[in-house]
Amino acid sequence: MEPLLDAAGHTRSPATMPGYHRGRPPRNKGEHYPADPPTVEEIIEVMRVAGDGPDGRRLRALIVILWRAGLRISEALALQESDLDPDRGAVLVRRGKGGKRREVGMDRWAWSELEPWIEIRHQLPVGAFLCVIHGATAGRHWEASAARKQLHHAALAAGVRRRFAPHQLRHAHAVEMAHEGVPLVVIQRQLGHANLGITSIYLHGIDSAEIINTVHGRPSPMISASAGLQLR
C-alpha cells in the first residue's frame, strides 16, 4: 500500500484517518469508574486553558454541550448544525442510546459560550456541528478518540488531578441539576435514561459530606401536644 501523506507531504498515520477506530472496542471497555464529577472551578479552568483559537473554541463547545446539556460524547459529535435551536434553548438528539430520539434543554449561559464556535463553524463546509477544522477533511465528523485526547491534554494543562473524561461532565450535569432541585424524572428525560434506576446511579457523585451535613442538620423530632399527654 502507498503511504498516506498529509498536505505538507509528510507521512500520515492511518490512525488519523476518519473511521480508523470505528468498530474497535475502546481500551477501557469493561472498566468501571466511580462517579467523581469535576467541580465547576475545574471545568472552567479547563475551558480557560483551551484558549480562544479555533481548536480551543471547538473543545470549549464540546465541554459546554457535555456539561450543560448532559449529552453522551457520541450524541454530541453526531450533532448537525440544524440540530441546535438557540431561540428555544433546545438541542435535538436524533439517535441516542438504543436509537431513541429526544430533545433536551440547555441554559442561556451555555448558548452564549457556544456563539464564538458557531461563528467559526459558519466559515467551514456544511456538516457536523463539532467537526474537523483543518485540511481536506474540514467540516467532517470529529472522531471521538481525537476529542478525548484533546480534552485529556487540556485537563492536564489545567492541573486537574482527577479523571476528566466526557462522561464525567455528564455526571456533573446530573448532580448539579439535583442540587438545583430539578425533579428526578426531568433529569432522567434530559439524560435519555430508560428508567430512574440508571439516573440514580449518576447521582452517586453527590459528596458524602453534603449527605452528612444535610442529615445532621435535620430538626428534632416533633410530637403533638395530645401525643405528649398520652406518653405519661
Global confidence as pTM: 0.74
Contact 142, 16 (CB under 8 A): no
Kindly state the cell numbers that stand for 230. 398520652
Q: Is residue 47 part of a domain?
A: yes
Buried b (16+ CB within 10 A) or exposed e, 173-210: bbbbbbeeeeeeeebbebbbbeeeeebeebbebbeeee
Domain count, the chain: 1
Q: Is residue 27 part of a domain?
A: no
* Domain carrying residue 53: 33-206
Q: Which residues are catalytic?
A: 72, 97, 167, 170, 193, 202
Rounded to 10 degrees, what is the CA torsion of 79, 119, 142, 80?
20
Q: Is residue 2 part of a domain?
A: no
pLDDT digits (tens, 9 = 90+) for 98-130: 888 899 999 999 999 999 999 999 999 999 999
Q: Is residue 222 part of a domain?
A: no
pLDDT digits (tens, 9 = 90+) for 146-200: 999 999 999 999 999 888 999 999 989 888 888 888 888 888 888 888 777 777 7
| CATH classification at residue 66 | 1.10.443.10
What is residue 199's predicted lDDT score, i.e. its pLDDT? 73
Q: Is residue 223 part of a domain?
A: no
